[in-house]
Each structure stands twice: as structure tokens, then as C-alpha cells.
Amino acid sequence: MQNFTLHTTTEVVFGRDIEKNVGPKLKELGASRVLVHFGGGSVKRNGLLDKVEQSLTDAGLSYIELGGVSPNPKLSLVREGIALAEKENVDFILAVGGGSVLDSAKGIGMGVATGRDPWEFASTGTAPDKTLPVASVLTLAASGSETSNSCVLTNEENMEKRGITSQTNRPCVSFLNPENTYTVSKFQTGCGIVDIMMHTLERYLTPGDGSDITDRLAEGLLIAVRDAGRVAIENPCDYEARATLMWAGSVSHNGYTGCGRASTFPVHKLEHELSAFHDEIAHGAGLSVLFPAWALYVMEHDIPRFAQLANRVFGVEMDFVHPERTAREGILTMKRFFAEIGMPVRMEQLGLKPEDYETLANNAVKTVRGPVKSYVPLDEQAIVSIFKLAE
């Protein structure tokens, strides 16, 4: 087991009917004027925004609203939010929505507190050291942003999508009511299932020393998400399935399933280029196309680990003579699972054509300033080969 530090600072309030606690908790944390941030309208249509704002009012807190966050959240709205928060003397930000709303809220929080444009951090790979407090009422189990140290923004001026990593990005409190995910579409539920699995897989499928306890936690999470995912796709209002996905989403990306292992996140790095290139590509959909291709490309560098995953999580019988067959069958089983839950598994299903591959590969290498780290460094040629495996 490698050395590690785990400091997950987000308080999680989980379960039914917790929206009424939002106002009192924010007051306890020192809020007085709150910026309520949300997306394209789902929280208005399903009544959640009204409930949350009522709770703020009941607690004697004043608030202003800023809606309109789009999937793959945009820097321009973050900048608008920073200006609004400064003008209105906001001292607390409450995100009501999915990962995009959360990340937009984090961008506003760091911008106000540091007095710097968030893109300065994103474009230079530096980290903010303070933020206005950010809280969330999560509506979609997927990104893990409700407890993560990450914030991913898209700059529409050059269509670059970049992450900002900082301990200060972790929300101070997140409210997780699985019922608030009942209205999530089958497609977005599928995207969430893939993203949750990927946050653990990108910590599990890495070279170097690891640890049995971390492996077993990761494998348990993957099995639970696979099974609950099937149920939630079939019956969107199954509380236990939605609860499993919601908690797994947080656990999968707060660092817990990677303790003692290296992590490099190559599939995420490649995916961010896809959803930056075509804004309508959902993060989870890009991942479901890329993961099997990436896995087939690199598996020869760690056959025992891919075979272990195949056997323990997907029930593929271990072929001790030809473990590469087990490893390969595991990857194909996972690809079939993604297709079964309605996710794309081929580049053309994302609207991407072979003539786009070089640009995408070039962008990926440019973003990380060199080859993408993985079992082997992935240069432009390797990345194009992965895209071809995803055809």
C-alpha cells in the first residue's frame, strides 16, 4: 500500500425529507445572504427549488437566484455569477442540481474569495487556496462533485474543458435525498452509472503497488452500482436503488476508493476533450465509449489486474492458463453492460468521425502538456489508436 492522505471535509446529510434542514444548517454555518445556483429548470419543474428556498426563508436567510447552468458548465456564467455575488454581498453559495451546477458554484466561490478569474487556475494548473463556502442539494448521482476536490469548467472562447483541483473545492455540506433523482431521465441515469463506475475504475486500473482492502472496497462498489443501476433504469422511483447510486457517487470520487494506489485518470482526460469538442456530448456517454477501447489498448501491461476485475466484478471464470482471455472477456462484458443500460459504445454514436480523431488527440496532449499518463504514456498516435478501437 502506498502512502496516502485522505481528508474528505464535506458533511453529508442523507435521506428523505432533508430539504427542510438546508436553511438551519446554512445558518449554523454562518450564512446570511445566499446565492442559489441551478441549471436549466429541472429543479423548478419538480418543485425542489421551492422547497429549498422555503427552508432558507424559514431560517431567516435572504437569497438571490442565478439559474441557467448548462451541462459542461461554462466559464461565462461563472464570471456572471462572480459579478452578481460581489454586487449583492453574497456570503454563501448553494448549488441545487447536478455536477454542472456544483462545478459552476465552485467556480463562483473561488472567484469571489480569491479575486482571480477561475480560468487563471484552470489554464495554469494552479489551485485556489480559498473559497466562499459552497453547499449543495444534489439532484443527479454521477459526478461526485458533491464531495470531490474537483471543479471542471468549459471556456467557450476556445472550447477548452479543464479541471481545477483543490481541497478548497470540497463543498462544506451536501444534502443527498435519493428521491430528488427520481425525475432523472434513463439516459442521464445511465451516464451517472458509467461516471460513478469510472471514478473507481480509474483508481483501480493503475500501475504500481496497491492494497487488498482498497481493491475489495472498489469491487464492492462496482458490483453495487452495476446491480442498483439495472434496477434504477427499470424503475426510476426505486428508493433503495437510487440511494445506492447516490451514495456510491460520493464515495467513488471523494478519494476513498483510491487510498494507497496511484491514480492518473487517463480515460477522463480523453473524455474531457470529447465533450469540449462537441458540447452536446454528456460526460458519462463519452466515458462509456472510451473506457472499453482504452482498456483493450492497455490491458497487456497489467493482465492480472484486468483479469481480477473481470473475475471478481463481472463473474468471468478465471482462465489461469490464458488470463488475457479473462481480462479481455471482462472488458467486453462491461461494454455489453454499458450498451444494456442504453449508453453509447462507439464513436459515431457521439457524432464523432475519423477525421476528428487527430484534432481530439492533439487537444488531449496539449491540455496535459505532454503524453497522457497511463500504464504507458499515451501520445497522439496512441490516442488515435484508442479512438479507432472505439469505432
3-state secondary structure of 74: strand
Closest Cα partner for 189 from 272, 104, 284? 284
Instruction: In angstroms, give the least distance from the CB of 381 to ligand NZQ.
Output: 25
From the list ligand NZQ, Zn ion, none, partner contacted by residue 164 (C-beta under 5 to 8 A by kind):
none
* Range list of β-strands (E), 52-190: 62-66, 92-97, 134-138, 150-155, 160-165, 173-176
Subset of residues 21 to 80 that bind ligand NZQ, contact rule: CB under 6 A: 39-43, 71-73
Strands 160-165 vs 150-155: parallel, antiparallel or unpaired:
antiparallel
Residue with cell 446529510: 13
Order of strands, sheet of 62-66, starting from the edge strand that comes earlier in the sequence: 11-14, 173-176, 134-138, 92-97, 33-38, 62-66
Q: Does 144 bind ligand NZQ (CB under 6 A)?
A: yes
Instruction: In angstroms, give the least distance from the CB of 47 to Zn ion.
Output: 28
3-state secondary structure of 178: helix
Subset of residues 228 to 267 that bind ligand NZQ, contact rule: CB under 6 A: 253
CA distance 331 to 349: 19
Instruction: In angstroms, give the least distance from the CB of 254 to Zn ion.
Output: 13
User: Which one-letter DSSP state was computed for residue 380?
Assistant: H
CA distance 200 to 190: 16
Nearest CB to Zn ion, comparing residues 195 and 329: 195
Q: Which stretch binds ligand NZQ (CB under 6 A): 21-29, 125-133, 137-145, 372-380?
A: 137-145
Instruction: In angstroms, give the least distance from the CB of 176 to ligand NZQ.
Output: 12
Instruction: In angstroms, give the least distance from the CB of 307 to ligand NZQ.
Output: 26
Residues with Cβ within 8 Å of residue 159, at least 6 apart in sequence: 276, 277, 279
Does an H or E element contain 85, and which? helix 75-87
From the list ligand NZQ, Zn ion, none, partner contacted by residue 150 (C-beta under 5 to 8 A by kind):
ligand NZQ
Q: Does 195 bind Zn ion (CB under 5 A)?
A: yes
Instruction: In angstroms, give the least distance from the CB of 253 to Zn ion.
Output: 7
From the list ligand NZQ, Zn ion, none, partner contacted by residue 145 (C-beta under 5 to 8 A by kind):
ligand NZQ
User: Residues 106, 133: contact at Cβ < 8 Å?
Assistant: no
Subset of residues 147 to 186 that bind ligand NZQ, contact rule: CB under 6 A: 148, 150-152, 180-181, 183-184
Nearest CB to Zn ion, comparing residues 25 and 283: 283
Closest Cα partner for 150 from 30, 16, 8, 248? 8
By rule CB under 6 A, what string of x and - marks binding of each residue 304-343 to ligand NZQ?
Answer: ----------------------------------------
Q: Does 202 bind Zn ion (CB under 5 A)?
A: no
* Residues contacting ligand NZQ: total by CB under 6 A: 36
CA distance 54 to 109: 23
Given phi > 0 = left and psi -120 to 50 = alpha, else beta, which region is 97?
left
By rule CB under 6 A, what string of x and - marks binding of each residue 263-302 to ligand NZQ?
Answer: -----x--------------xx------------------
Q: Which stretch binds ligand NZQ (CB under 6 A): 75-83, 99-107, 222-230, 373-381?
A: 99-107
The residues that bridge with 63 in the sheet, in sequence order, are 34
- Residues forming the site for Zn ion (CB under 5 A): 195
- Residues forming the site for ligand NZQ (CB under 6 A): 39-43, 71-73, 97-101, 103, 139-140, 142-145, 148, 150-152, 180-181, 183-184, 188, 191-192, 195, 253, 268, 283-284
